Structure 1
Amino acid sequence: MEFRERDYGAEESAYSLPRVPAKNHPLFARSLPYQVDVTDNGKDDFCDPLRGLGANMAMHIGDVEDVQSTYNRKLSNEAALQLSEKEWASFKRSLMQKFSATKTVSISSMSDVIVKSGKAHDKSSTSMHLEELDDPQKIAEEDVKVITCQEYVSRLHELKDEICHAWQADDRVTSLKLSIKVARLLMDTSVLQFYPTLFVLVTDVMDMLGDLVWERIKRRAKYADDGTIICSLPENFKAIDVCPDAKETCNNWFCKIGSISELLPRIYSELAILHCWRFLHDQPCESLQRLVMMMRGLADPLASVYCHLYLVRCAQKLLPCDRGYLITCINDISIILMRIISGKETISRYSSGNKKLLISLIEPTIEWSVKCMFTYQWEIGNLFAELGLGGNLSESSQNPPCISIVLHHIIKELPAEIVSSDALEIVQLIESSKDFSFDQHLNYTLLGFKLCERRPQMDSVDAVLVKVFQAVSQYDSLDEYLKVVDAYLDIVLQYQMENYLTIILDGISKRASDKVVAESELGSLQSIFIKLLTHFNDLEDAFALNHFVEILDVMYGTSRNTVNMHILNKATRNGYIRDPTTIQLLFEISQALHDGIDFSSIKDDDNQQSARLISHFIQMVDYGTEMDRHLTFLVECRGAFGSINELKGTLVHSSNSLAIKAMKGTNKHVSFVKSCIAFSEVTIPSISAGIRQMNLYLETAEVALLGGLVSHTDGLIESAISSLQSLDITRGSQINVDVDGIISSIRKLCSLLIMVPGNPTEGIFYIPKSLLSLVTSDPGVTPRLRARTLCAIISLSATFSQNTLPYHVKNTEVMGNDILFFGDPSYNQELSSISSISVQNLVEGIQEEVYKAARGTMALEACNCIISSFKANPEISLICSRLMEIAKSCLNANDKYLRSTLNILDKHLACSRDACVVVV
């Protein structure tokens, strides 16, 4: 077999695609309108994201805003009429989850409907003693029974079914009586924690009753007793559309409910059928104020506020009505809260310990009522006036004072633009609300976040911040201080108020010094640091802030890791890091981040991101001309971050890059390059992945060769071969092997060998022979890996046979094999021997492939390799024909790769025949 002669320069010119310089970038703005005009076919509604905003586009945006505004108004009107059932259902679920019931519930005399079917138990002496300590008054009652919470809930479900069955049996009197008994359960507030769950369960029953009554009256309005249709009642019917019989039925239901002796069941029963007033009056909302007034007769505060909640919910089923009932509800709840806070509540069981729990139980009623109130359009002045916000608890006033928890939910629902324009007035309200119903610092915090949603005017911002910082300066609690300043930090940074930023950091340092920061405080510190890092373009400006590093040092755990990751991300985004002080600080930050990595779960996303950031930091460090200091830095990193396997590869890359930099910068580079190569040689063996080791050895060998260190290059290539030998590349291996990666590395090795001078002592081709021996001696090597490796060796041999190699080392001291062994007969004989063995093993190995498709593709690859490497002759033609027969038997006749290879082979055989004719 004789190798083909190649003219690499001519081949490059022949096969390279023609290149034409472009006058403008294809996405250049001036060219876009012309391209778009062709695409959009004159349609004005076409929106190209790469086109600038012209007049037409601005007009379209205006139209979209008008449509959106109209949609929002429509949506607001619908929300004012009725909040969706989905929202109410979600609210009830959250209510039950927030106040999980106790395992047992006390049974009072008013719960006889539960006792009849449920299993009541006498209390144990232990539980009696514990409850006596908690509430002596309650335990003094005789014959106290308990029932499990699950039994209580099951009994309520049974009652719901009984009411439904009685209704279906036309026994509506029984349905009403049972419903009244169910509503009566809400009079029992003896177990505070259970009351929200009880409210949800009871109101489900009452809602069912209301729906049954509604459907009955509606049917009476549509059909006669014999089923004849009287009229088709429209969706938005008026009272005049309802027939007298239906009105009489409706009036009877309200009369029955009005005769209920106990106040709470009477109110709940009327609320359940409240929407039925539509059959009698066109203005059904007029009854709401009457019901609110009735609720003032409820003595128990918890029962009263939840009754108000049910009224607000039931009122949403009516047509739009005046918002006055909502104002009255919220004011009444505020009065109840004022009595609890001021200690004027007369019910003895609400001790000081229970008041906090009681207020937390009342809070959801405030939240829902205020949310419903803001379905209306409000003027901020009118709103505060109607709610009577102002004053303090010590002053007697007709209007309730500003209760902190009520104010919180009002601020929460206020639109951002209103908060922005009336921020000073809201701050004054917060200042006046100093009761224990809600922590005052949370209201300051909420105001700050609301202000950040809409950028306020500078003059009002300064006035607000003066008052806020006067208040927070009195806080000794770090947690409260952090929550408030975190809320206002965005505004401080936006308006570049350095004086407030200094106050914030001084305040944090003062409160955080000499103490261990609690976990609850770490979240606020994390938020503050991230905002600072985001604001400053240069990391050095953030580091220069007073107490920045000092405060960072008090953090720990996940929050510290998160901040450290943001710092490293910021540091590595703006180019190389050259300041020694900054490098040292980032090194310490990387150490802290490294110490926080859980190496038992290194594949976790957070751990991987930490490792990547540390690696990126090392890559971006640049000591300039102080290359010895840079190499020392890499040594320190290897010691500090040696647990991160992936980072060791980064250290090798950095060391090799440093060696290349040294070669370019000075003539006195040999000793330093040797130091860099020695660093890499020591670091690579500690990397666990064999294929990664091989690639790094090859990379370092290339650097050594570029530096003229041929002996180092030979040693590194031998290490690469050893790494390859250590891989378990047999077909029976249970470990997933990256065969494509191995093949790529082998091809990279062969490409590098073209520049490496042959070693006469070891043999000119001892490295290709080692590679050939590796893939042919082990029967367990997969056929695919063996075939592609042999193809690479054949291509390498063909390249070595050329008079001029395709590329050389850019170092005049390193001569290529085409110069060292030009005209040496033994050189060509050895090449011929290697290639012959490779071809023979290649054809035999392909036939060992089990899968037909893979076997056919391998045969085509081998055929193309042989055709491109050897001159046409009968021996080569015979081998290629044999390979093509294998490919044809395995692949479809229309396979494109097969067809193109056949065309090339025909040309090759034609050359072979012409050569034979010339010989004859």
Structure 2
Amino acid sequence: MADHHQWVPKARNYPRERKDYSLERQPTRAHPLSGLQRPTPSSATSKEAVNGGGVSSKTSSASNAKSAARTTGAKSAGFIDPLSMMSADFEPAVVEVRGGGGGKTAAPLTKEQMIGSWGVKKESILSKFTTTERLTLTSSYLSGDDRVVTVTKSNLVADRIQSRLEQLDSFEAGSMKEMLNLTQQEYVNKIDQLHSKLQTAWRDDQRVTALKIAIQLSKLLADISPLQFYPSKFVLVTDVLESFGQLIFDRIAEKGGSPGLGGKEDYNAEAAKETCRNWFFKVASIRELLPRLYIEISIMRCITFLEPRSVFAEMVPRFALMIRGIGDHLVASYARCYLARMVIQLAPEILPKSIVLVEDFVASMQQLGLTKLKRKLTDQKLDMSSYVLLHQPALEWITDCYAKQSGVEGLERLLRMAEDSNYTGLLLNCVMTSFKADLVSRSPMKICALIQKNSEDVFPTYILCRTLGLCLMNADTDPKERKKIMNEIWSLVADQGNPQSYISAAEIWVEFAAKFFTVKEVNRVLGDIISHLLPDRAYESCSAVLLQILERLIKHLRSFSLLLSMDKFMPFIDMLQKEEQRLEAAKLLLDAYTKYHQDSAIDPVIINGVLFASKIVHDSISSLSSEDEKRSASVLVCGFLRRIEFGSDFERQLNFYADCRGAFSNLDDVAEFLVHAVNNLAMSARAIQRGHHTRKTAAFVRACVAFSFITIPSLYDIPAQLALYLESAEVALANQCLGQADALIKAAIQLFNASKEELEVFATKMKPAGKIAAEFASNLLALMLVVPDPPEQGILYLVRGILNTIQSCDELVKRPLQMQLLAYASAARQEDYAYHVEGIDSNDRLYGPDPDFLQELDNIASTCLSELLAAVAVLHNAKQNAQAIKMAHELLDIVLAHGDLTKCQSALAILVGFVKTYDPKTVASLRKLAESRRRTDGTAWECLLELL
């Protein structure tokens, strides 16, 4: 049996303590964030910059209005918040990186800006141009066992020449072997193997072997079958060739004695120059045009060891003339692409000269024999437009390079070329993709005429319509021309017979209409989409695009009243038939409503529509749904519920929450939100009544408390239930509903008693079960301090219930609760409590100095103190010193904070002696604390100093 220790709390004077321990405050004239404030640009300048001389769109006007409202509100309030100022009127800095208006040349781009987009384009090509056909690869380095050639390093020139000659003799023409029936992935793996062998050969000083591998890879680009895989083959091979060129460059730099340097005009190292000439001579000796061309382009960076950088301007026309000798148009197109790719890396200042590559491309396509080509495409089971699309990545990269250093003149030049070409669509699409949208939008009617001229058999018209729409969406077009453009293009879109082609183009122009026109035009466009997709249930294959259209509509028509005012909107939504499609649409609508809906007026049509979407999201949740899915659905639904406010009609608000409780029963987070919302509703009613309820408002508050009491048990999360019970009890107490408050507290105690063993299920590493219990006990006892005892139940009825519950708890849970109970007993024994609830007489006023009441508190406190000291001794005897020290520290904190040190000396002596023995580092802190408090609290802290 544990030794009995008497607990005597110290008398507290809370008003004096608040005064003594509060920090001094001084008024300040400067806002602490005022150093972050920046000057605000004038509104006139801002409008001119955004709208381009007075032409404004709906979006920009709305944003300017919101910005003005924020600024005006801040000034009228007499206080300017620096954070609000920074976000109110500042537009992001825009750096011109492409050709600007008026024929002026844009600011030059950095090398990183220019070559950065190739990685994105490369990934796009590899994912788009694939094949299921079997492929063929010819090489002498992947057949049978790998040949190993040992090179003996020697300082004698004759020995090195002999070694190279032996390498050349070891690879005869007869060693070439053809690998058939390779899948695409196997083909890619073989290319990677050749790349690895090239690097290995280079590391082993087998330069000829590396060159031969590069030649064999270059020869693969002469084979265009299968056609649809050729762009991906080009990417795979040229990546290896670029690596090969870099190896040669680094080798030459090392020869010159300055590894890592390159491209300097004053580079005069004779060894580097000699090595460089040898490599160019080796490449020039390659008999076949295609491998010689590709490898020379890959090493063209090395010319800077021999000539100044200006030589690049002479090399580009020479390479362009060489490419004219390639017989196949597809092969020639990608050879030009590779040349442009190297030029943009090595000499971006000569990009305007890349116009010759575009001219050669157009001229070669003009000479294309359609009859012979169509026969060839028939054998490949490919139509003409699909073949032309194979050229698009190559031409697009060339025009993109040209557009980076050209302006309006460059655009007009390419448009004239497109007008005169038989392949107008291909060149026009590349031009619109490459040039800045502001430039393209200057000639919209001319581009519309070129699109109408396009031959559908040669290039798909819907792609041109889609590309133009993307350009106009990202530029400020003349408002007078928008409707004419819309009519011209939509007639072309509507003529598309293929539903996939139609909806792909319509997706962009629906957004164009939503951004620049009224809902009347948008409604008309939606009606046309419905009429195109309803026959033969074509909408079933277009569900992904329909969802994107919905997202684009919501982006610009943010008002739900506008969306629902269109009679074609709901039929459009009805085309989303599958469950997962309707779910995504519902999520889009809910997310948009949460973000954009600003109308404070309650429209039943809108509420019912969004509530229907919320039910779709809710009904998608089942017992198999993951926690992330439940959390995501709850966030959307709670976001919707948070926006619904019926103003001062509190009863209607409560009825709405009651309906939602039944509609969203699968989502615990929603139920928890509803309890918080109803509690807030009750407190709002109290605020309006200023704490003095009428019969009607009192009944309403009791209905709110009853709502919470019924809803809380439906939650699965026990810690959440406990917290909500206490919150609801506080609300009931604040509204003088003592019976309801008692019922809620009892329910919380009973739940804790019944589920204390299950707290481990909800525990985490950061919040173990003991901490959950201690947190609940702290909040419960803080509430119990102001809750008067029920007259019919006797003194400390609810507290005794808590004490009985604690006795049956596990040790890890029990000890923190006893410490909280010890602190409660000390606070409850004061003559005047630290806080009260308006209109409620707490036990300090109910009992006053009643000896029975005080004796009961002393018995509870002394029992808890004795058991806690015994627990420390048990842990110490069990050699669990770490836990014993932790508990001793926590208990010592309670004693120092709440106990009368002059009358609790036995307990204080035990704890201080334990700390001095096992944690001597704390002694100095305790001594410093006692000395500082002795000046104000007198002899109480001298007891502690004597023990230390």
CA distance in 2, matches of 1:625, 1:900: 54
**Contact 1:802/1:818 (8 A) holds in 2:** yes
CA distance in 2, matches of 1:804, 1:286: 96
Shift of 1:23: 6.5
Counterpart residue number, 1:472: 493
> What is the correspondence of 1:172-191 to structure 2 with a 5 Å cutoff?
185-191=220-226
**Contact 1:677/1:704 (8 A) holds in 2:** yes
Counterpart residue number, 1:461: 482
Shift of 1:655: 2.8
Structure with larger Rg: 1
Counterpart residue number, 2:744: 716
CA distance in 2, matches of 1:78, 1:901: 68
The answer as to 2:808 corresponding to 1:773 is no
Counterpart residue number, 2:585: 560
Number of positions where the alignment pairs a residue of Structure 1 with one of Structure 2: 831
Q: 1:575 to 1:331 in 2, by over 3 A?
A: closer
Counterpart residue number, 1:394: none
CA distance in 1, matches of 2:721, 2:273: 94
Counterpart residue number, 1:367: 396
What SS class does the counterpart of residue 668 from structure 1 fall into?
A: helix
Q: Calculate the TM-score normalised by the size of structure 1.
A: 0.74
Deviations 1:561-616 (A, max 9, x none): 44133234136x75977444433332222112222346534432x64233023124
Q: AA paired with 1:774?
A: T
Q: AA paired with 2:456?
A: D
The answer as to 2:590 corresponding to 1:569 is no
Counterpart residue number, 2:870: 844
**Contact 1:3/1:870 (8 A) holds in 2:** yes
Q: AA paired with 1:722?
A: Q
Question: Relative to structure 2, which stretch is displaced further, 787-796 or 511-520?
Answer: 511-520
Shift of 1:836: 2.1
Q: 1:839 to 1:760 in 2, by over 3 A?
A: farther
Shift of 1:622: 3.0
CA distance in 1, matches of 2:216, 2:492: 51
Shift of 1:269: 7.1
Deviations 1:263-288 (A, max 9, x none): 65676677677778997998676676
**Contact 1:214/1:276 (8 A) holds in 2:** yes
**Contact 1:271/1:314 (8 A) holds in 2:** yes
Counterpart residue number, 2:182: 148
Deviations 1:330-362 (A, max 9, x none): 2145336x655x776454754553546534433
Shift of 1:290: 6.7
> What is the correspondence of 1:616-695 to structure 2 with a 5 Å cutoff?
616-662=639-685, 664=689, 666-695=694-723
The answer as to 2:439 corresponding to 1:404 is no
Deviations 1:870-902 (A, max 9, x none): 55644x222223222233334314664674257
- Aligned equivalent of 2:789, options 758, 767, 783: 758
Percent pairwise identity: 22
Deviations 1:78-112 (A, max 9, x none): 699xx75x8767766664554446574358xxx69
The answer as to 2:422 corresponding to 1:422 is no
Counterpart residue number, 1:358: 387
Q: 1:504 to 1:775 in 2, by over 3 A?
A: same
- Aligned equivalent of 2:406, options 369, 373, 377: 377
Counterpart residue number, 2:149: none
What SS class does the counterpart of residue 727 from structure 1 fall into?
A: helix
The answer as to 2:362 corresponding to 1:331 is yes
Q: 1:345 to 1:285 in 2, by over 3 A?
A: farther
Shift of 1:375: 4.1
> What is the correspondence of 1:10-49 to structure 2 with a 5 Å cutoff?
10-17=16-23, 26-27=32-33
Counterpart residue number, 1:887: 915
Q: AA paired with 1:563?
A: L
Shift of 1:411: 0.8
Counterpart residue number, 1:792: 820
CA distance in 2, matches of 1:444, 1:543: 28
Counterpart residue number, 1:136: none
Q: 1:430 to 1:770 in 2, by over 3 A?
A: same
Q: AA paired with 2:508?
A: A
CA distance in 1, matches of 2:480, 2:861: 85
CA distance in 2, matches of 1:823, 1:169: 100
Counterpart residue number, 1:746: 777
> What is the correspondence of 1:208-357 to structure 2 with a 5 Å cutoff?
235-236=264-265, 256=285, 260=287, 292=320, 298-313=326-341, 320=350, 322-335=353-366, 339-340=369-370, 345=374, 347=376, 350=379, 353=382, 355=384
Q: AA paired with 1:587?
A: L
Deviations 1:826-882 (A, max 9, x none): 2233222222212222322344557656644644543454455455644x2222232
CA distance in 2, matches of 1:97, 1:448: 24
Q: 1:273 to 1:906 in 2, by over 3 A?
A: closer
- Aligned equivalent of 2:608, options 584, 589, 599: 584
**Contact 1:731/1:781 (8 A) holds in 2:** no
What SS class does the counterpart of residue 685 from structure 1 fall into?
A: helix
Q: AA paired with 1:770?
A: G
The answer as to 2:624 corresponding to 1:600 is yes
Shift of 1:752: 1.9
- Aligned equivalent of 2:638, options 593, 615, 618: 615
- Aligned equivalent of 1:705, options 718, 733, 740: 733
The Cα RMSD (Å) is: 5.3
Counterpart residue number, 2:854: 828
What SS class does the counterpart of residue 418 from structure 2 fall into?
A: coil
Q: 1:856 to 1:272 in 2, by over 3 A?
A: closer
Deviations 1:454-511 (A, max 9, x none): 3233234344333223333445666555544543566555545455334334434544
**Contact 1:751/1:796 (8 A) holds in 2:** yes
CA distance in 2, matches of 1:557, 1:616: 19
Q: 1:581 to 1:901 in 2, by over 3 A?
A: farther
Q: AA paired with 2:401?
A: C
Question: Relative to structure 2, which stretch is displaced further, 788-797 or 690-699?
Answer: 788-797
CA distance in 2, matches of 1:169, 1:896: 71
Shift of 1:625: 4.9
Shift of 1:308: 4.0
Deviations 1:645-664 (A, max 9, x none): 12222222233333444553
CA distance in 1, matches of 2:836, 2:35: 44
Gaps of 5+ in 1: 34-47, 120-143, 224-231, 391-398, 915-920
- Aligned equivalent of 2:418, options 381, 389, 405: 389
Counterpart residue number, 2:3: none
Shift of 1:365: 2.2
Q: Calculate the TM-score normalised by the size of structure 2.
A: 0.72
Gaps of 5+ in 2: 1-6, 40-80, 147-177, 944-948
What SS class does the counterpart of residue 389 from structure 1 fall into?
A: helix
What SS class does the counterpart of residue 696 from structure 2 fall into?
A: coil
CA distance in 1, matches of 2:144, 2:936: 98
CA distance in 1, matches of 2:640, 2:551: 18
Counterpart residue number, 2:472: 451
What SS class does the counterpart of residue 180 from structure 2 fall into?
A: strand
Q: 1:498 to 1:618 in 2, by over 3 A?
A: closer
CA distance in 1, matches of 2:567, 2:587: 21
**Contact 1:855/1:890 (8 A) holds in 2:** no
**Contact 1:217/1:250 (8 A) holds in 2:** no
CA distance in 2, matches of 1:49, 1:561: 38
Q: AA paired with 1:623?
A: F
